[in-house]
Amino acid sequence: MNEMQVKKSPFHRAKMTLGILALIILGACSKVEGQADSVQRPADGEPIQVVATIGMITDVVKQVGGEEVEANGLMGPGVDPHLYKASQGDIEKLDKADIIFYGGLHLEGKMTEIFEKIENRKPTVPVSKDIDPELLRSGADAGGSQYDPHIWFNVRHWISATETIRDTLVAYDPDHAETYQQNAEAYITQLEELDAEVKRQIAEIPDQDRVLVTAHDAFGYFGDAYGIEVMGLQGISTAAEYGSKDVSKLRDFLVENKIKAVFVESSIPTKSMEAVIAGAKEMGHTVKIGGELYSDSMGEPGSDADTYIKMVEHNVSTIVEALK
């Protein structure tokens, strides 16, 4: 009996230690719970440290925050947010940030759990939070999300995201509220002009040719907003694997509807669409790659898609040129 007690005692001590740590963590969380919304900028004159996930959000933070904000993005060009895993360096950036912005709607996959743990300590804001749920698309295959997270493809939704970022900065730093409001107003004017221009250009494509076929189903909001049918080989989230049945189904659609062009995406390998094109060719129908679109990330710095507005303009001109 004594020997058994000796063998168990280290295990019991470990359990007691873990129990004490758990109580400490719970106590710390209870102290900060509900305080994140009331956090305001320290009066030290230093720029607000903001961390954002995807490049499109980082871009809006820069536009609205101006010189009062230092914006740091976690995900660069060509990065797929659905599959992204936070590194130790990312965790350190999030820990040091004053404010965190992310897409929400499970866009960032498992990182959502990290944001939910941080949100009681500091402003941690999904930019999709103020969009009316009735305006969101279903996200049945989006890795646990009820809604499609690709809201930036409807420019009107991105205006809402801009307003959410503005309001968060105003609440955190009321001394510079006028700056954030003026910057946001100027940027929203540009977005409204962009929205009108996208509608004008898509209308140039003949009705029967308004079919956008892409590597994954990221352009649903774009199709709904601007009157173009959208199909993707993969579902809303690239975390959902595609199979031979998906390739065959899309191949048959291309052949039956005489679709002349499909599009690859900068953040997804091209082999998936190449398989569809090859299958259509075997059935006597030639399909070309109409160009590369930016879906879940922007372009490299200095490219024609290194801001949100330029990214949308690039996508629209590429689609119209290929389909018109």
Enter the CATH code of domain 199-323: 3.40.50.1980
User: pLDDT tens digit string along 44-80?
Assistant: 779 999 999 999 999 999 999 999 999 999 999 999 8
Query: What's residue 242's pLDDT?
Result: 65
**Band of pLDDT at residue 234, cut at 50, 70 and 90:** confident
- What percent of the chain is predicted at pLDDT more than 90? 69
pTM of the full predicted structure? Answer: 0.84
Query: What's residue 240's pLDDT?
Result: 57
Query: Which residue has tokens 């996930």?
Result: 53
Query: What's residue 141's pLDDT?
Result: 56
- Residue 72 has, within 13 A of its CA and on its CB side, a CA count of 18
**Band of pLDDT at residue 269, cut at 50, 70 and 90:** confident
Residues of the chain with CATH 3.40.50.1980: 45-181, 199-323
Query: What's residue 13's pLDDT?
Result: 41
Domain 45-181 has CATH 3.40.50.1980: yes
User: pLDDT tens digit string along 104-116?
Assistant: 999 998 898 899 8
Query: What's residue 235's pLDDT?
Result: 63
Query: What's residue 217's pLDDT?
Result: 83
CA dist 72 to 140, 149, 306, Å?
Answer: 31, 21, 15
CB 107 within 8 A of CB 84: no
User: Which of 92, 84, 225, 100 lies closest to 158, judged by CA?
Assistant: 225
